[in-house]
């Protein structure tokens, strides 16, 4: 079996590093914003959302969950000066397809009791309705005192067309 991950990194990085010229960028994002999106393999944030290197934080997790990303967002804002968050969920998201019980029983079945105990208290933050989930996640974030004066908007990216549309904000 081929370990594509390691092979791609080694081969791809050789070419990337050979042509690399942007080693003098500053640590804080130059355009002071963060994009939170899903880890879905079909999303290429830099290309699809027009993000220049060094301009923005890109935070990714399963489902583009604001709760899951809260720690990173606070670091982004308080330590690195970002003032805007774009929450981008997407069509065909895996998080629409299961619930906590399914995930936990799957772990128990494939990994056993000890593993089941490890995930017992995890909220997998799945959602049955995409647009509603965008609204709720944006609302959840905006209600936090630590997010005061941060501009938050919610979006849906279509993996079928490559188009992003604004839902709220
Ligand atoms: Zn997803």
Strands (E), the chain: 33-38, 56-61, 84-90, 151-157, 164-168
**Buried b / exposed e across 53-66, counting CB within 10 Å, b at 16+?**
eebbbebbbebbbb
The CATH architecture annotation of domain 28-42+50-94+127-168 reads 3-Layer(aba) Sandwich (3.40)
Mind listing the pLDDT tens digit for each residue in 8-57? 999 999 999 999 999 999 999 999 999 999 999 999 999 999 999 999 99
Which residues place a Cβ less than 5 A from the ion ligand 1? 38, 40, 93
* Overall pTM > 0.75: yes
Would you list which residues are annotated within the binding site for Zn(2+)? 38, 40, 90, 93
Question: How many angstroms does the Cα of residue 60 sit away from the middle of ligand 1?
Answer: 10
To the nearest whole number, what is the mean pLDDT of the chain?
A: 97
Distance (Å) from CA 64 to ligand 1 centroid: 7
């Amino acid at each position: 079996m081929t370990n594509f991950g390691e092979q791609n990194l080694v081969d791809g990085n050789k070419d990337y590093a050979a042509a690399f010229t942007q080693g003098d960028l500053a640590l804080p994002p130059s355009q002071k914003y963060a994009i939170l999106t899903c880890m879905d393999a079909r999303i290429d944030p830099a290309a699809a959302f027009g993000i220049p290197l060094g301009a923005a934080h890109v935070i990714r997790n399963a489902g583009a969950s604001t709760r899951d990303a809260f720690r990173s967002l606070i670091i982004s804002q308080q330590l690195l000066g970002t003032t805007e968050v774009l929450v981008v969920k997407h069509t065909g998201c895996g998080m629409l397809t299961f619930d906590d019980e399914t995930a936990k029983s799957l772990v128990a079945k494939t990994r056993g009791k000890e593993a089941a105990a490890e995930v017992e208290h995890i909220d997998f933050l799945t959602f049955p309705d995409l647009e509603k989930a965008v609204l709720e996640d944006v609302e959840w974030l905006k209600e936090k005192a630590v997010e005061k004066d941060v501009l938050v908007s919610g979006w849906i990216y279509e993996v079928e067309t490559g188009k992003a549309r604004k839902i709220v904000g």
